[in-house]
Amino acid sequence: MPKLADEAAAQRELLGSNVITRADVVDWADRVIRESDDPDPIVCEIAVSGSARDFQILEMLSDLARDSDRRVALGLFLRGLGEAVDRDVVSVENAARWISTHAIEYEDLLAERWPSAIAFSEELYLAKERGMRGIRNEIEQGVVRFLREASSFLVDAV
């Protein structure tokens, strides 16, 4: 089960990547408070910080995320990214771009099981440029499948 630090790390990455908004983070903090008998004071501060700037909320989330498990936090981020794709808040192309950009940073967690993740963005770009609609659809389905499988694997396996 993810810890508060893992959730905070994922919220930080989602907000920093513009996948979610400050209001979404405040909603998350409200949920954490409702579910806790003794909520962390930083979570309470986030819950009442609706008018704070993104960088201030990111700093508070960083404080909460200090002891996060990189693997679980990445899994929670990928889950949130997948949910944003499902809600059409983030395009599959932008999700692929994030995955490709960050796959090297998380290579130790992703490369063995999903070696092609690093190339999603480039493959989509090439398929788009060459008018290869069928291949583009296959790649997009691969991105969505990756988000589901990787998030489950990274979070649930712990």
pLDDT tens per residue, range 43-67: 999 999 878 899 999 999 999 999 9
Using only C-alpha atoms, the chain has a radius of gyration, in whole angstroms, of 17
Q: Which residue has the tokens 């819950």?
A: 47
Which of the four pLDDT bands, split at 50, 70 and 90, describes residue 71? Answer: very high
**According to the model, what pLDDT value does residue 158 have?**
59
Helix/strand/coil for 106: coil
pLDDT tens per residue, range 98-155: 988 888 888 888 888 888 787 888 888 888 888 888 888 888 999 999 999 999 999 9
Q: Return the domain boundaries, the chain.
A: 4-67, 70-156
pLDDT tens per residue, range 28-47: 999 999 999 999 999 999 99
User: Has residue 12 got a pLDDT over 90?
Assistant: yes
Q: What is the pTM of this model?
A: 0.88
> Two tokens at 91?
């395009």
Q: Where do the H-state alpha helices sit in the chain? A: 4-16, 22-35, 41-47, 54-64, 70-86, 92-102, 107-110, 120-129, 133-156
**According to the model, what pLDDT value does residue 31 have?**
96
**According to the model, what pLDDT value does residue 104 have?**
81
CA 84, 87, 90: angle at the middle one, nearest 5?
45
Residues 91 and 158: their CA atoms lie apart, in Å, by 29
List the one residue out of 3, 41, 58, 48 whose CA is nearest residue 26.
Answer: 48
Residues 156 and 145: their CA atoms lie apart, in Å, by 16
